[in-house]
Amino acid sequence: MLRGSLFGLIALAPALSLAQVPGANPGQAKCQAVMAQDFTQLPDAATGINGATLVAPERDLPEYCRIQGVIAPDVVFELRLPTTTWNGKFLMQGCGGMCGILNMAAAEDSLVRGYAVVNTDMGHTGAGFIANWAYNDLQAEVDFGYRATHVVAVAAKAIVGAYYGKPPAYSYFNGCSTGGRQGMVEAQRFPADFDGIVSGAPVLNEIGDGTLHLLWSARANAGPDGKPILDARKLPKIRDAVIAKCDALDGVTDNVLQDPRRCGFKPEDMQCKGADKADCLTTAEVGVVNRIYNGAHNSKGEKIFPGGMSRGSEYEWSPPFVGLTQAGGTKTHGAILNRNSMIYQFTQYLTFFNDPGPSYNPMTFDWDRDPSRLMLTETIYNAQNPDLRRFKAAGKKLILYHGWDDAEIPPGLSVDYYETATNTMGGPAATREFFRLFMIPGMAHCRRGVGADGFDPAISLEAWVEKDQAPDSILTHKMAKDQPYAGLPRLRFPLKREDYTWTRPVYAYPDVAAWNGQGDWQDPANWIKTSPSK
């Protein structure tokens, strides 16, 4: 049975008009009239509307018509249509984690700008770290993998056209993490859906990131006896050593690495000369740090995933990979190895084509045998096709961004994809005509981190799509207050001066920003573009 929708009742709903509702609020009548429209015949996206409500202005949000619906069999969505402030455009906001909720707060900034905005639960209900909805349910997996985003785009644009009497002039997608994957899936599989896409920290390899990165990084700290090795209290010492060696490579010491790949720090540099101490690493601890830096390998030492953590990201390793050290010095496993963590749900219900179920223990994952077993589900979830010819030919634009300090999604995966796409699409110049990558120094997953995480690539995307102004750089802001991953409502740009402490440009990959050595390093005018070889 369809969740939250009664197609039969919708088909029988009488047409509404102002003449039939004496004294009715015109906005409410227009909003309710959407209920009378029949969207059940939309090709590949049979849609039912089960709610239409006029919402009064609140805070900085405008008045809007709230449409709630479901696309057969189980893809729930919410669409918000500004009544008087519509800018003629449409935007779909991506979700995060396993989705399962309608996170409309993430689309508030776009609604304020006048966009008609939509969000979907991706075909299931539940917390973002729960995956049991996928247990032996191929339809749910297909919806989460690629179908839900596409069919909601089709349905939402049809409703927008019916409500306003004309289709949106431009359609955009904006998302990070799983939302970033949604955007990349759209560019690769459904290039007609959006004129422009912002994809942040995308889970390009849903299976690889969940297992080959997160599980590897957590198990890297487990010794032969299964006990944790690295003391979490040493992580700040490791980062201090990284910063001491590499921070000044961009011309200024600011606790941020512009390009961690240029950093030559080796854990062996901190190896204890004698007894174990707080400011050195034992041989076993050196091994742990190297394993986390280098990413997943098989027993032959062959790399099986283009992941691994960046130098300088060590502050993000605890508690996910290296557990918090308890009183008395007792070391604990990282949070990812907790039986209530997402990695257990992931491997039990999502990673394998034939789900092993709740009895599966990810600690038994075999790095020689099991990676090849994941290929069956990669076809459903992954977004790694570098052939973007249809997307480019249609005149579409794509901005991909990723934080260099991201611990949840390896930043190297986005670099690897962009470089592969560049080779596929005819080289750097041909690729930059429609696709640009921005690697954000010191930013963690989607936001947070020691760097500048306040920026809005959507503004740059609009200028690129609508005015053909390709973004050579994006201005980033170091926020005065940390931006938690769920830090909602979203930032409103332009920011107030008291909201940030400094700003800096981030240049399109592979170029890197460097201080020119003159004036205030906190002034973006004093940063220049340099090639990666300098």
Mind listing the pLDDT tens digit for each residue in 309-327? 999 999 999 999 999 988 8
Looking at residue 25, its pLDDT comes to: 73
Residue 122 token pair: 């991706």
How many independent structural domains does the chain possess?
1
Average pLDDT over residues 18-45: 79
Domain assignment of residue 266, yes or no? yes
Instruction: Tell me how long the chain is.
Output: 534
Exposed, middle or buried, 130 (CB in 10 Å: 0-12/13-18/19+)?
middle
Residue 343 token pair: 């990695």
Q: What is the pLDDT of residues 418-441, one digit of tens each?
A: 999 999 999 999 999 999 999 999
Residues 6+ apart with CB under 8 A from 193: 150, 153, 154, 171, 173, 186
Average pLDDT over residues 43-59: 96
Q: Strand, coil or helix: what is 263?
A: coil
Residue 15 token pair: 């047409």
Please, which pLDDT band fits residue 1 given cuts at 50, 70 and 90?
Answer: very low
Please, which pLDDT band fits residue 18 given cuts at 50, 70 and 90?
Answer: very low
Looking at residue 486, its pLDDT comes to: 64
**Per-residue pLDDT for 79 more than 80?**
yes
CA distance 277 to 237: 11
Please, which pLDDT band fits residue 20 given cuts at 50, 70 and 90?
Answer: very low
Average pLDDT over residues 363-390: 94
**Per-residue pLDDT for 9 more than 90?**
no
Q: Strand, coil or helix: what is 159?
A: helix
Kindly state the percentage of the chain with pLDDT values over 70: 94
Looking at residue 309, its pLDDT comes to: 96
Q: What is the pLDDT of residues 230-257, one digit of tens each?
A: 999 999 999 999 999 999 999 999 999 9
Q: Strand, coil or helix: what is 382?
A: coil
Domain assignment of residue 326, yes or no? yes
Looking at residue 24, its pLDDT comes to: 55
Longest dimension (CA), the chain: 89
CA distance 474 to 490: 18
Please, which pLDDT band fits residue 128 given cuts at 50, 70 and 90?
Answer: confident
Domain assignment of residue 501, yes or no? no
CA distance 417 to 440: 16
Looking at residue 19, its pLDDT comes to: 33
CB atoms within 10 A of CB 275: 7
Domain assignment of residue 88, yes or no? no
**Per-residue pLDDT for 6 more than 50?**
no
Element (H, E) at 216: helix 214-219
CA distance 225 to 146: 41
**Per-residue pLDDT for 389 more than 90?**
yes
**Per-residue pLDDT for 150 more than 50?**
yes
Please, which pLDDT band fits residue 176 given cuts at 50, 70 and 90?
Answer: very high
Average pLDDT over residues 87-104: 95
**Per-residue pLDDT for 129 more than 90?**
no
CA distance 389 to 431: 10
Q: What is the pLDDT of residues 319-369, one digit of tens each?
A: 999 999 888 888 999 999 988 888 999 999 999 999 999 999 999 999 999
The domain in which residue 230 lies consists of 209-379
Looking at residue 253, its pLDDT comes to: 93
Looking at residue 5, its pLDDT comes to: 40
Looking at residue 533, its pLDDT comes to: 59
Looking at residue 14, its pLDDT comes to: 35
Domain assignment of residue 264, yes or no? yes
CA distance 506 to 258: 9
Mean pLDDT in the chain? 92
Domain assignment of residue 286, yes or no? yes
Looking at residue 22, its pLDDT comes to: 44
Q: Report CA-CA distances (Å) from 482 to 98, 152, 443, 477, 500.
A: 24, 33, 11, 11, 10
CA distance 377 to 145: 9
Please, which pLDDT band fits residue 207 given cuts at 50, 70 and 90?
Answer: confident
CA distance 87 to 148: 25
Q: At residue 15, what is the residue type?
A: A
**Per-residue pLDDT for 485 more than 80?**
no
Looking at residue 342, its pLDDT comes to: 87
Domain assignment of residue 313, yes or no? yes
* Most confidently modeled range among 301-305, 463-467, 480-484: 463-467
Residue 89 token pair: 């455009």
Domain assignment of residue 73, yes or no? no
Could you list the beta-strand ranges (E) of 230-330.
none
Looking at residue 15, its pLDDT comes to: 35
Kindly state the percentage of the chain with pLDDT values over 90: 86
Looking at residue 488, its pLDDT comes to: 58
DSSP state at residue 139: H
Looking at residue 526, its pLDDT comes to: 96
